[in-house]
Chains A and B, each alone.
Chain A
Amino acid sequence: MKCGIDLGSRYVKIVCIQDKTVAFTQKYSTIEFYRHYGKLINHELNIDFGKLGLPAEVSPQNITSTGYGRNTLKIHDANMISELKAHTLGACFQTGLTDFTLLDLGGQDSKVIKVRQGKMVDFQTNDKCAASSGRFLENMAHVLDVDLTELSQHYEHPVDISTTCAIFAESELIGKVIEGHPLDQLCAGVNYSIIKRIKPMLQSLMSPILVFTGGVAKNQAIQTLLKQELAIEELIIPPHPQYNGAIGCCFSVDS
C-alpha cells in the first residue's frame, strides 16, 4: 500500500492507494496537523503515524510527501517529490488522460500545468501574490457572512472587484455591500475575480481539455465561469480534486 501526504498551506491531505484504488483519504487543518501529529527533530518532520490512524499496511518507506512545506520540512524516512510533479501524476491517474492542462487552485497556490504524454511540459504558478487562492475565497465568504457552499452557487451579474490586494479586496467588498448590491451578485463578483486572475496564466498554456483540481475545484460557480470564459472542449473535475497532490505522490517512481 502506498501513502501520499500533501503538506498544504491550509490542509494536510493524506491518501492511501491499494491496487490502483484510493483506499483511504483524510485531511487535517495544517495548524492542527503540526500541533498534534508532527514534531521537528534534526530539521526533519517526525510524524506520529500511529496517532494518525493510517492503515496498518503503511510503513514510512511507502510514504511520499509533497507540498508547500516540503523545502523546509522533510518527513523523516519518507520520500519527497515536487508539488507540480505530484499534481501532474495525480491528474493523470485520476483522469486516465495524458494530454491536458491542469488547473490547481489550493489554499495559497494557483498552478497551471501543461501536460503532454503524461509529463509536465510547461507551467505557471502564482508567485508573490495569493489573491487567486482558496484562502481568498474563505476570507471573502467570511466578509459576506456566507459559507463556501453558498458562495460557490453564484456567477451571474458579478460586481466588479478591482483591487489587486486580497486584503484590500475585503474593504472593497464591504463598500459594495453598503452600496446595496444583492448577495448573489457579490458572491459572483468574488468568484469572477478568481477567473480574472488565472485567465492570463491559463491562456498561455491552454489545451482542449482542462482538468481542475484543488479545494477550489468544488466551487460550481468557478467551474461554470471557466467553461464560459475559456475556449475549452471539456472541463474535468476528478473524483478527489482536493487530494490530487497526495494521490500523485503514490505514483512517483521514487515512492
Chain B
Amino acid sequence: MKKYIGLTTTVPIEVLFAAGDIPVDINNIFINDQDASKRVEEAELAGYPRNVCGWIKGLYATVLQKEKIKKVIAVTQGDCSNTHALMETWQLKGIEIIPFDFPYNRDPDLLKMQIDKLITHFNTTWKKVLETKNELDKIRSLVHEIDRLTWETNQVSGFHNHLYQVSCSDFNHNPQTFKTQAQSFIEKAKAQQPYPNDEIRLGFIGVPPIISNLYEYLEKKDARVIFNEVQRQFSMPNKTDDIIEQYRLYTYPYDVFARIEDIQQEIKRRNIHGIIHYAQSFCFRQIEDLIFRQKLNVPILTLEGDKPGPLDARSTMRIDSFLEMLR
C-alpha cells in the first residue's frame, strides 16, 4: 500500500515515487488550508513560543492533524535549524522521522550517501530512481515553460508562476495529474493577452510568502512578479542527467552566494526593476538581507511576514511606496 511521506522542504522525491510512496510537502498542505492561522494557534497552544517562525508552527500542527502522515523526511541541514526541534516534538507525538542533510559544501560524495540512505530506507534501487527522474524531468520542463511564459512572453501571472513552481516539491502528490494540469495551463496561457509593457517587473526572493494576497495586490498596482527565486529552484531549472548534480545545482539549501549568482543572472535576463526580499519573522534569513543589499544592484524591499493571512496595512504602505519609487 502506498504511504504518504511528509516533507519539511524539497528533497530528492525521485526516491519516494520510485518506491511507490507519495511525497507530501507539508508546507503546501498548511498554506492551502482554509484554517492555516488556526494551525499556528494550535502549535502555540501546544507550547510553541510566540517568537518562532509561523511556517514551523504550521508544519507541526498540520502533520498532527493529517492522520495519513505517519512518517516525515525532515531536512536537518540546508533549510532551517528550527526543524531540529520540530522533529523532536513530532517524535514526541509518535511521528517517525527520517533526517536528510544537504551538505553545506555541496560535497557530491556526502550527498550521494544521503540519497543512498533514502534509497535503502524506502527499499528501492538507483535504477528505478533514475527512471523516475527522467519522467519527472519531463514534467519539470513544462513548469520551465510556464516560467518562460511569465517573463519572456508576459502571459502568466506572478501567482501562477509561484503556484506551479512551488508545487514541484511534491507534484501535488500525483505527477501524472499535475502534468495534465500544467499542459492545459500552458495551452490557455499561450492564448492570453500579454501583460502591458509599462508594468513594473519584480523579482521575489526568499522563502515562499505566508501572505495570501501578495501577488494579487501587486498586480492590482500594475506590478508583476516575473521571477520567484526559491520556487523556481524547486522546479530544478538547471537541467542535468545526473541526479547528484541536479541536487548540487539546486541553490536553496546551500550558501547564499550561489543564490546571489543565480538571482543576478535572472535580474539581467528577465529585466527586473526591483526585488522583494521576503523573510519570515524570527527567521535566520533576515540576517542575509544585509548580504543581498550589498550584492544586488537593484532596489530591494524587505518584506516580513509572520502568520498566514492577507497583507497588513503597514506592509501595503511599504509596497505602495516601493512601487512609487520604481515608477
Contact = CB atoms under 8 A, between A and B. Distances in A.
Contacts of A68: 313, 317
Interface string B299-315: 10010101000000111
A224 interface: no
A84 B321 contact: yes
Given A68-B313, A71-B313, A122-B299, A127 B325 contact: no
A128 interface: yes
A79 to B, nearest CB: 14
Contact-residue bracket for chain B: 10 to 19
A212 B313 CA distance: 24
A123 B321 contact: yes
Interface in B68-109: none
B318 interface: yes
Given A122-B299, A128-B281, A128-B306, A82 B314 contact: no
Contacts of B299: 121-122
B317 A83 contact: yes
A85 B326 CA distance: 12
A69 B316 CA distance: 11
Contacts of B324: 82, 84-85, 120
A82 B321 contact: yes
A123 B324 CA distance: 12
A83 B320 CA distance: 9
Interface in B168-207: none
B240 to A, nearest CB: 39
Contact of A83 (B304, B306, B315, B321): B321
Interface string A112-128: 00000001111101011
A204 interface: yes
A70 interface: yes
The A interface is mostly helix, strand or loop, or mixed, namely mixed
Contacts of B315: 127
A72 interface: yes
A82 B317 contact: yes
Nearest to B311: A71
Given A122-B299, A128-B306, A70 B325 contact: no
Interface string A124-137: 01011000000000
A204 B318 CA distance: 18
B293 interface: yes
Interface in B277-315: 281, 293, 299, 302, 304, 306, 313-315
B314 A72 contact: no
Contacts of B293: 204
Contacts of B302: 127
B7 to A, nearest CB: 29
B321 A121 contact: no
Nearest to A68: B313
Contact of B320 (A82, A121, A128): A82
A68 B317 CA distance: 8
Contacts of B321: 82-85, 120, 123
Interface in A54-84: 68-72, 82-84
Given A82-B320, A204-B293, A72 B325 contact: no
Contacts of B316: 71
Contacts of A120: 321, 324-325
A68 B318 CA distance: 11
Contact of B314 (A84, A119, A127): A127
7 contacts: A68-B317, A72-B313, A84-B325, A119-B325, A120-B324, A121-B299, A125-B318
Q: Top 6 closest A-B pairs, CB basis? A: A84-B321, A82-B320, A82-B321, A71-B316, A71-B313, A120-B325
Given A84-B317, A122-B325, A128-B306, 11 more contacts: A72-B313, A82-B321, A82-B324, A84-B321, A85-B321, A120-B324, A125-B318, A127-B304, A127-B315, A128-B304, A204-B293
